Structure 1
Amino acid sequence: MRTINMYINGHWVESASGKVTEIINPANGSTFAQATRGTAEDVNMAVAAAKQAFKPGSLWRHLTADERAELLNKAADLIEARAEELALAETNSMGRVYKETRYDDVYAASGAFRYYASLVHELQGAASAENVDMLTVTVREPLGVCAVVAPWNYSMGTLAAGMAPALAAGNTVVIKPSSLTPVSTAMMVEAMEEAGFPAGSVNMVLGSGSEVGSALAQSEDVAKITFTGGTATGKDIIAKSSTSVKRYAMELGGKSPFIIFDDADLDVAVDRLMFGIFLSQGQVCIAGSRLLVQSTIYEQVMHMLEERIPKIRIGMPLDEDTEFGPMVSKRHMEHVLEYIEIGKAEGAKVLIGGHRITKGDFAKGYFIEPTVLVNCNEHMRVVSEEIFGPVLTVQTFSDEAEAVRLANSTSYGLAGGVFTRDMGRALRVCTNVNTGIMWANTYMDETPGVPVSPHKQSGTTVDGGLDGLKEYTVLKQINLKMSPEKSGWFNS
């Protein structure tokens, strides 16, 4: 059984606690690895190493932008060289089907490193000569120590999306993967070590959010925290870090509306709807978990779902034919099942699914049927709260105004989609729904390099693109007087 240690100041080390956490395969409930369990003491050591590596005169600070880019590209090469091994580790940790982790997670990580390596020369300032005999310039400088705290879903891609811009801008990092999925993260760090990142520039601490995450938040030497996860946890991080002034990049919860008008191509809309809610068993922050369907086509769309959802191939995640696997953990499975019961108690009706799958080998794992709840309204918890599982709630609307109102009726504002042949209507809906990203006539299609900023309780700051890279810098103003002279303010 593999044991995962922490990486601090260029060395692989065990925790000061001497304790370990078992890593469970959610497909069969077996233990396939263990990870050392970090403490606040370990966090302090990692932050101190990152702070030391950031000091002027250090090897890391001596690197040019080109040399930082070269390291990022080398790491990307090494990650791709280990693609199958990384994907297997991620699938065994999280339960995402192998073809997802193999062709999505791994290349999301290497792609982030390559993308930000290409932007290192774009961090430029400006100059002004408006004042006589004085030149004013602005320069962008790295912030210092950046902490990157990742969730258990899409852990490789999420960590790389935080590490890559931080390192490209010249910062040092301390990363904390989820305690459920540290194996692939350790392998990514091995690739970065092999690429030649100087000691202290990249550090990894393992452990719980309550101890390790809290210690990172409370550290006065951490200049920025990048966090992806639930809104409640994001608020807790902000509260615990209030003793010092930090910057934040947070992508938090979502309850994304998926709007279908009666003039839409329903074959496409229903296909994208199933992709948007059941991909990765609904364990996706931008999952289209709230279906808003025009009342005139409600029966037709429900019939299509009843016909198509039972055909989803549920299976073991390493099977190439599998389309839908297990929940990440027993605890999370129970959390999702509890929400289904809450919905039923609130008056929702289970149209499809709603149960744990216990037949045959599935009984050893944490599988839930793809589920559709109808008779829903905006006041139900299953409609207003993030479930983070394969549970679709259904509401109807009569016209465009009601669709927009219902779409905006939750406290979240991460993503959303609209399906209609009327492109004027599509643009109006995309404009009026308060989310960071909207799709029209598609869902979850990505355009690399385009920044996004979440709304409401779904997060803070800008992520992606050059704008996202700038968020890992501070803008400094420098004033150069050509001919020194007295101010003349005091007579003495």
Structure 2
Amino acid sequence: MATLPATNSPASGLLPSRHFIDGEWRASHSRATMPTFDPGRAEIHAEFAAGGADDVIDAVASAKQAGQGEWRKLSPTGRGRILAKAAALIRENAERLAVAEVLDSGKTLAEARGDVRGSARAFDYYAGAADKHEGKAYPLGPDYTSYSIEEPVGVTAHIVPWNYPLSTACRSVAPALAAGCTAVVKPAEQTPMTALLLAEILVQAGLPPGVCNVVTGTGAAAGAPLVSHPDVRHVTFTGSTATGIHVMKMAAQNVASVTLELGGKSPNIVLADADLGVALDNVVGAIFENAGQICSAGSRLVIERSIHAEFIEKLVARARALRIGHGLSEGVNFGAINSAEHLRKVSSYVVDAKARGVEVTVGGNVTTDPATGKGWFFEPTVLDRVRWDDPVVQEEIFGPVLAVQVVDSAEEAIAAANCTDFALVAGLFTRDLSKAHRIARDVDAGQVYVNEYFAGGIETPFGGNRRSGIGREKGLIAVASYCKTKAVTIRL
């Protein structure tokens, strides 16, 4: 089992235990610390600073001052060079970042390595975007010149979730920096380490001190003071719908803009004419990757009745073949649930579903790492032929639990897909491209994947409709979230 080397410097391998503010490591004003747990063993693996309002005040002040200094004067091309260097340094530190992510989050090492690759790619992408976010000219006639300038909004807050700590931080911090903003990051208290390591990497890449700061601690003690700080001009939040609503209310008090990527209950539609082998591979990955702890997980299988029995039989066999265990163990391809609290939530949904008579075709139980008897794990689970109004169809479980809805036509599949209050993503498997276009048009979702779940990348906009959020991350549209438009009109 791989481990991080223990030395006296965070830059050399030891996990950081303090905030990163103004380009340096700082203890909390209170000197208080918190534990972070290794979910694969259900044991504490490190301590970190328990931040509060005073630490947030320092971080925001640092970010505000940095935004008025050399960072403001740096050309877009110069910003791009720093982001490109950050991408290279992320790759140089890939194994260290991946191992830290496994120990904090519980995912497998293969999954964490993929997250690190995606994080580096995000910085590559926005390095190229830094000098391409242009203003416009407006045709007012020969007696006027009118044009617009895209300016950075200022200090931005980034509230990062525990399921994809590094990649979610990178997908919002990178476009904010590309736009010329400064950032204060508050990672989830369950997974603080890679955000801290990222901030140090950015300074090593040439980012001026204070342009990116990280304050750790709980949402109540550190997150709330950050999103409600009057000097924060934009808040990017990824997390639950309930918390997102609260964040939006706090930001509104300062008339700050928000990007909210919230919950999902995403349908994965498999029609009878689909390539069933391709569909099966993607259904398995869509719900069991990261133990189902993904906002955009394909947590509902909407499948035509004529192929239902055959498909479920193969799906159950694939679920049973997954190897549960600690993310750093050899051969494991199914990791842990992030916390004891979340494990109880996932389990309660399945226990209640069983009590209602919902059919459990595979899984359905809390378990542990077979090698150690430790850890927070939940078996890969399939709940079959579930009523559309059942809580396991309507509510986000955020775990490895798939609810199956059986339909008799493509039209009924659309109705089934749209039967919840969420509208984050949707998957569709069919060989009929005309049908694919019609369904993509009629399903309410921020993005639709056809014949490959999780298709796309940093280039494609990502976000939800209705209770799944507001605004879009990734793509060039993300840079616009961190800009304010100034129009200049001159009478000649």
User: Could you state the TM-score of these two structures normalised by the residue count of structure 1?
Assistant: 0.94
Q: Is the partner of 2:476 in helix, strand or coil?
A: helix
Structure 2 residue 311 is matched with structure 1 residue 301: yes
SS state of the match for residue 4, structure 1? coil
Q: Does 2:158 match 1:148?
A: yes
2:58 is equivalent to residue 48 of structure 1: no
Aligned residues: 479
Amino acid at match of 2:197: M
- Of 366, 374, 381, 1:364 maps to 374
Query: In the alignment, is the contact (CA less than 8 A) between 1:436 and 1:454 conserved in 2?
Result: yes
- For residue 119 of structure 2, what is the amino acid of its counterpart? A
Q: Distance in 1 between matches of 2:372 and 2:276?
A: 33
Listed one character per residue, the Cα deviations across residues 214-268 of structure 1 (whole Å, up to 9, x for unaligned) are: 1112111100001111111100101222321011111110100011112222222
Deviations 1:18-54 (A, max 9, x none): 1111111111122211110000111111111111112
Distance across 2 between alignment mates of 1:85 and 1:453: 30
Deviations 1:363-388 (A, max 9, x none): 31001110011231111111101001
Larger Rg belongs to: 1
CA distance in 2, matches of 1:28, 1:453: 33
Alignment of 1:106-185 (within 5 A): 106-185=116-195
Aligned residue type for 1:225:
V
Matches within 5 A, 1:60-459: 60-102=71-113, 104-358=114-368, 360-459=370-469
For 2:417, give the aligned amino acid: A
1:24 aligns with 2:34: no
Structure 1 residue 314 displacement after superposition: 1.7
Distance 1:263 1:127, change over 3 A: closer
Structure 1 alignment gaps of length 5 or more: 483-492
Q: Which amino acid aligns with 1:40?
A: A
- Asked if the contact 1:4/1:182 (under 8 Å) is kept, the reply is no
CA distance in 1, matches of 2:37, 2:214: 20
1:132 Cα offset (Å): 4.4
> What SS does the corresponding residue of 2:313 show, helix, strand or coil?
helix
Return the offset for 1:131. 4.0
Secondary structure at 1:465 match in 2: coil
Do the aligned residues in 2 keep the contact of 1:27 with 1:362 (CA within 8 Å)?
no
Distance 2:242 2:439 in 1: 29
SS of 1:139's partner is: strand
Return the letter of the residue paired with 2:89: L
* CA deviations over 1:372-430 (Å, ceiling 9, x no partner): 11231111111101001000011111111211011001011111111122221111111
Q: Pick closer, same or farther for the CA change 1:238–1:396 going to 2, 3 Å.
A: same
3-state SS of 2:455 partner:
coil
Q: Calculate the aligned-residue CA RMSD, in Å.
A: 1.5
Distance 1:128 1:323 in 2: 55
Deviation at 1:451, TM superposition (A): 2.0
* Amino acid in the other structure paired with 1:73: A
Shift of 1:76: 1.4
Take 1:399 and 1:3, find their aligned partners in 2: how far apart are those partners? 54
